[in-house]
Amino acid sequence: MPLLKLSLSVKLDEDTKTSLLQNLSKTLAEGLGKPENYVMVAIDDGVAISMSGEIGPAAFADVRSIGALDAKINKAFSKKLCTLLNEQCEIPPDRIYINYTDIDASYWGWNNSTFG
């Protein structure tokens, strides 16, 4: 917690993927006000994605967190994420969907237990 799971239609080279993972981890921690040592980021690149009936550069991001999500935070993080994906992956912001889910602490397991 928090988790950012990212599916990209573009295939990334290892250097870009490593840089993106590091940038996303830091950006998510800062954006949600959570310690980065609890942040997990997963990237699945080269996925077949159709958006608006068209094949091309696109992304789907699934953001989950125990608390820290609200309309203001989600809007600000959406802008940061879209900017980052546009700069590092050349995916236009209008080809990025983001889903936000607030998870109850008792429904998130870690280290032989749960957070709640």
Catalytic residue among 2, 35, 92, 93: 2
Does 2 qualify as catalytic in the annotation? yes
Question: In this structure, are residues 80 and 115 in contact, taking their beta carbons and an 8 Å threshold?
Answer: no
Query: Where does 1-116 show beta strands of DSSP type E?
Result: 3-8, 40-44, 50-51, 54-55, 59-65, 96-102, 109-110, 113-114
Which residues are designated catalytic?
Answer: 2
